[in-house]
Amino acid sequence: MDVNIIRVVALVVTSVVVAGCSADRVSGVGESSFASDLATAECISVFSCECDDYPYPDEAFCRDSVEGIYGALLEPGRKAGLSFDAECAQGFVDEYSEGECGSVFVDTGESDTLTCSYCSLYNGDKALGEDCTQYSDFDDCGSGMFCEEGKCFDPCAVIAAGESCEDRGWGRDCEPGYHCSPDAEPVCTKTPATGEACQYYCAEGSYCNFDEVCAVLPKLGEPCDSARCDEGSACSNAAICVQPPGPDEECASGECRTTAFCDYGDLDSAEPAICRARKATGEECDGFDQCETGYCDETCVEEQAWLCE
């Protein structure tokens, strides 16, 4: 089980609360009770799931073990005299208390909007860009920042138009409507709209065609000049957007219907790639896309609850 959650940068669907970053949270978890509260929430959640193999022999052993681990992880922050963030701590406890026996992240399909959120259990008073000192998993930067190469850094700051985006990790990205240019010295560049000249990038719903102009993705029955079609269709050998092939049909574009996967077979062979029906639990597999469950561990397996890992 991964216990290194003291510092978190998360890309999550908007409306999902992560690690104490909700503006309407008013309660918090105290420094003295955090390790115990988190261990209790985590272990209750673990043993409420149906795991193939539990990470601890029983709930009591789980609580004792996990509380000791979290307590030790907090010690450098305490010794450094940093300020404990009770709201951030509440977020970690809530993540387990409200967790479900499923994958770490479930895409509901309700929103494609991503937001970056960050908090640390211990903070200092150093401002953005100031020199900072690290204390194991913590540092003396202010809330919402962490120490990166000796300077306080905001991992969620949006990069403005025209600014360098060469070091845009940690969830940082260009402001809406802009992308990071693929140049030797990349900067945030305006993303071209439909009908405008392009090199690689176009606004959502369009693509950069062979004429290097952003065009609307072709729909079912329309010509496709670059093996690109709108969602729900695939570009055929005849360069027409068609319904993706099903089991036992050729998959020239590499796409199949959701009930199948594209089997490329022997790559040295002249035989065409064929869509095969997704495999049932227990059948041998080489990739997640081959399984009905979406999980492959040499054979297709049922989804394992993330709390069981």
Q: Tens digits of per-residue pLDDT, 192-232?
A: 999 999 988 899 888 898 889 999 999 999 988 777 888 88
* Distance between CA atoms of residues 158 and 168, nearest Å: 9
- Phi, psi for residue 108 in degrees, rounded to 5: -80, -15
pLDDT at residue 13 is higher than 70: no
- Taking residues 14-22, report their average pLDDT: 30
- Phi, psi for residue 70 in degrees, rounded to 5: -65, -40
Contact (CB, 8 A) for 285 and 296: yes
- Taking residues 28-50, report their average pLDDT: 89
Of 21-30, 81-90, 152-161, 181-190, minimum mean pLDDT range? 21-30
* Distance between CA atoms of residues 127 and 304, nearest Å: 42
- Give the amino acid at 77: G
pLDDT at residue 47 is higher than 90: no
Q: Tens digits of per-residue pLDDT, 113-150?
A: 446 778 999 999 999 999 999 999 999 999 999 998 89
Q: 149-152 long-range contacts, Cβ below 8 Å, gap at least 24? A: 152/126, 152/127, 152/128
* Distance between CA atoms of residues 114 and 145, nearest Å: 19
Give me the pLDDT at residue 51, please: 77
Which residues, at least 6 apart from 57, have a Cβ–Cβ distance to it below 8 Å? none
- Taking residues 147-161, report their average pLDDT: 89
Of 203-207, 253-257, 271-275, minimum mean pLDDT range? 253-257
CA 183 to chain centre: 26
Burial class for 241, CB neighbours closer than 10 Å (0-12, 13-18, 19+): buried
Contact (CB, 8 A) for 165 and 5: no
Give me the pLDDT at residue 168, please: 63
Residue ranges of domains in the chain? 7-153, 244-301
Give me the pLDDT at residue 171, please: 57
* Distance between CA atoms of residues 159 and 202, nearest Å: 19
Of 59-63, 115-119, 166-170, 299-303, minimum mean pLDDT range? 166-170
Of 100-109, 119-128, 159-168, 300-309, minimum mean pLDDT range? 100-109
Q: Residue ranges of the alpha helices (H) in 157-280?
A: none
Q: What is the mean pLDDT of the chain?
A: 81
Confidence of residue 34 (pLDDT cuts 50, 70, 90): very high
* Distance between CA atoms of residues 135 and 147, nearest Å: 10
- Taking residues 173-194, report their average pLDDT: 90
Structure tokens at 247: 């089991």
